[in-house]
Amino acid sequence: MKKPTILTAYFIGLFLLVFTSVNVFSQYSKATDRPNVIVIYTDDQDLEETGCYGGTVATPHMDRLANEGVRFTNYYPSSSVCTPSRYSVLTGQYASRSRSMQQEHPTSGHAFVRWNTDLIPGDMTIAHYMKANGYVTGFVGKWHNWYKGHPPFYHVPDRADPKDPKIMETITKNYEIARNYIKESAGFEHVSNVYANNFSWLPITKKLMYHNQHWITHGAIRFIEEHKKGPFFLYVATTLPHSPKAEASLTNNPETTPLGYLKGHQRAQPSYQSVLNRAKTFKNQHSDATEMLADMIWLDDGIGAIMAKLDELGLRENTLIILASDHESKAKMTLNQGRAPFIMSWKGKIKANQVNDALVSNIDICPTILDACGIESPTSTLDGTSLLPLFHKNNPSWRESLYMEVTYTRAVVTKDWKYIALRFPEHIAQRITEENRREFNQEGASYSIGSSNESRVRYDSDKKFPGYYDHDQLYDLRKDPGEQNNLAKNPEYKTVMSKMKSELKKYSQQLPHRFGEFK
């Protein structure tokens, strides 16, 4: 039997979405208080880079957001790298369910979760669900879910002059290709101020490869102003605080965007020089200030500008705001550590100044939004759970563990324990011996290949986590939150190991691919 084409899958998915939404929309048409929703998804933001999490950094607007809502202390994104994390937040599903990834790695083998979990037409996203139920949907910022480079971009030489009209014509064509593909694959009606990928992968000249939080903020504010009558759903994905550090961008021309040198956005938030001055002053006053201080001040200003616009338009109390990081930066491409900032604020609906230690994940964001907006959740296809019962019930029953996945590693984490399993597929495992084990990273690439990025341990994770090369890792998070002492082979923890392995097996049995002895 032939597999359905992408186009066929798209129309099937669209039909099912419309069919299942009819009853939901009818219950909505009488509602007058449907909330607006804004998701701000930051890039590589760590806990210690956020003031309200005890970080040595000035983030007054994020802190205000936490003071007006709830700050989660056990938020673990389900994957620790950009693309799969963004797939999960948009779909409410684990990245290994991605059709694009399964085309590359069929379910008869192991899933290799990395930058291959893209969105393709036919995938159902939060934007599809919201749009089908009367919401205006908008996207601004970083995408990073581009399906194998298709549709293709036109080539732009790295050293080309962006002031050359012919070069700008090509860059503009590429930008429109990105906008249209995001609309087609993710269901957003309004797409603007887009970074289609990380800077080095953008089809632009190097002279335009800079952060511009002002431009992203401007796009978000413009969307809010144009759709203030609501209800609207806005997804804001920032490029900050992902590398490169902000200082180079903040000393660059503020008109620099992926769409050339543009005017009109520079006053969306405090000036570049203001950010640099405040960062310098803060560093002089706090010797332990994070090196990412300028990045976080710039990002925080943008969040403050969005909140100020909601206040100005009288929309703040009827807007659910979710601020979350796609993952932390220290343990990228591993399942070590992994906790990141996650804040929810909905004035009048969620009690202010809460701290919640429930185990939550980015897969919960989609079902939470649907629940908040009164939209029936397609529970059979979502892996996440609405978080609203945590606020509306006295003693809500809640999960005792979370599942995480990246490369060939899988993990389960509880409040007290974390277990990580590394299981290579047979074609890689048969090449590895006890003697050469440390020549292979967790992606299964051998150092003997050469010095390419793929053939080394990314982000120096083997230096940060002594258990990096171990096939099994067990950590007591109460005593060892930094995950430095692997207890997997310690006979004293045999019972804990057995329980955590059983928990991982339960998750594995529900997912499409094989994974070692777990499925």
pLDDT in tens, 400-451: 999 999 999 999 999 999 999 999 999 999 999 999 999 999 999 886 544 5
Tokens linked to 442 = 């967790």
Mapping DSSP to helix (H, G, I), strand (E, B) and coil, where does residue 514 land?
Answer: strand
Instruction: Tell me the C-alpha distance between 497 and 481, whole Å.
Output: 17
Q: Is 387 exposed, middle or buried (0-12, 13-18, 19+ CB in 10 A)?
A: buried
By residue count, the chain amounts to: 519
- Name residue 410's beta-bridge partners: 405, 421
Residue 476 structure tokens? 């007591």
Contact 306, 236 (CB under 8 A): yes
pLDDT tens, 457-484?
889 999 999 999 999 999 999 999 999 9
Range list for CATH 3.40.720.10 in the chain = 35-392
User: For residues 384 and 361, is the Cβ–Cβ distance under 8 A?
Assistant: yes
**Residues 94 and 383 sit within 8 Å (Cβ to Cβ):** yes
> Where do runs of H (alpha helix) occur along 56-125?
60-67, 82-91, 99-104
Ranges of CATH 3.30.1120 domains, the chain: 408-518
Cα 488 to Cα 507: distance, rounded to the nearest angstrom: 20
Q: Quick one: fold of 408-518?
A: Arylsulfatase, C-terminal domain (3.30.1120)
Residue 179 is inside which H or E element, if any?
helix 165-186
Strands 70-72 and 190-195, by their bridges, are: unpaired
289/305 Cα distance (integer angstroms):
24
Fold of 35-392: Alkaline Phosphatase, subunit A (3.40.720)
pLDDT along the chain (519 residues), means of 10: 41 43 34 85 96 93 97 98 97 96 93 93 95 98 85 93 97 96 96 95 96 98 97 98 96 98 97 97 89 95 98 97 97 97 95 96 98 89 95 84 98 98 97 93 76 70 96 98 98 98 98 97
Q: What 8-state DSSP symbol labels residue 407?
A: B
